[in-house]
Amino acid sequence: MAQVDPKLLSGVNVLVGVSGGIAAYKAAALVSRLAQSGAMVTVAMTESSARFVTPLTFQALSGRPVYTSPWDHIESADPQHIALARNCHVAIVAPCTMDCMAKLASGRCDDVVTLILSAIDRSRTSVLLAPAMNSAMWAQPSNQRNVRQLLEDGFQLIGPDEGWQACRTSGPGRMSEPDALFDAVVAAVKRG
């Protein structure tokens, strides 16, 4: 990982959503790199993601509160999902599991990550998704249908890559590496 300019993303609010897949450990490196570049990083986690990486990890790396429930009111006088959506300059979900993609494609928002994303105006704010799943799951017709719907709805996909997966196989579906995700966030900010 190359050294980061500490002013590169100064003044930029980045929302990082983490859904429940083993690739959640890579999100820690992404959050660290974003914070080192000067970004104000807010992390939102699904309940299942906290089984892989704890909220405390992301709080330590971002220096900010971590959102784990749509029911907790942490920082804002506005409903938290509205304030977070309104204030972010770019959002990324890493990993974005098959379940998270299905929720976003169908408009379900029953966890804090999908709730915040539902309130983002994608015509003004880029929402990047970093798919992460087994290659058989990636190839499922329902998942490919959701991919098409998400792209049509204005989401942007980063990856997935092909490679070794936690299921001890190799193929498409592996989440892109943190450096590639960081570069995608920077590019989205520049497109602004």
7 is a domain residue: no
Residue with the two structure tokens 């709730």 = 115
Residue 3 inside a domain? The answer is: no
**CA-to-CA dists, residue 152 to 106, 113, 149, angstroms:** 12, 20, 5
The answer to whether residue 168 sits within a structural domain is yes
Angle at 42 between CA 41 and CA 45, to 5 degrees: 130
Residue 51 counted as domain residue = yes
Task: Write out the two tokens for 52.
Answer: 């892989």
- Answer yes or no: is 140 within a domain: yes
Beta bridge partners of 90: 14, 126
Taking the C-alpha atoms of residue 176 and residue 162, their distance in angstroms, rounded to an integer, is: 9
The 3-state DSSP class for residue 41 equals strand
Q: Is residue 1 part of a domain?
A: no
Q: What would the mean pLDDT of 10-34 be, rounded to a whole number?
A: 96
Catalytic residue, candidates 88, 96, 109, 167:
167
- Provide the CATH number for the domain around residue 129: 3.40.50.1950
Domain count of the chain? 1
- Tell me what pLDDT residue 164 has: 67
For the segment 90-137, what is each residue's pLDDT rounded down to a tens digit? 999 999 999 999 999 999 999 999 999 999 999 999 999 999 999 989
Measure CA 120 to chain center: 13
Is 71 within a domain?
Answer: yes
pLDDT tens figures, 30-83: 999 999 999 999 999 999 999 999 999 999 999 999 999 877 766 665 556 788
Residue 139 has a pLDDT of 93
Which pLDDT value is given to residue 90?
Answer: 98
State the pLDDT at residue 131.
98
Using alpha carbons, select from 38, 41, 43, 42 the residue that is nearest to residue 11.
38
Calpha distance 83→134 (Å, rounded): 34
Is 75 inside any structural domain? yes
pLDDT for res 76: 60
Whether 167 is a known active-site residue: answer yes
Domain that holds residue 120: 13-191
**Residue 167: is its pLDDT beyond 80?**
no
Backbone angles phi, psi at 65, to 5 degrees: -60, 150
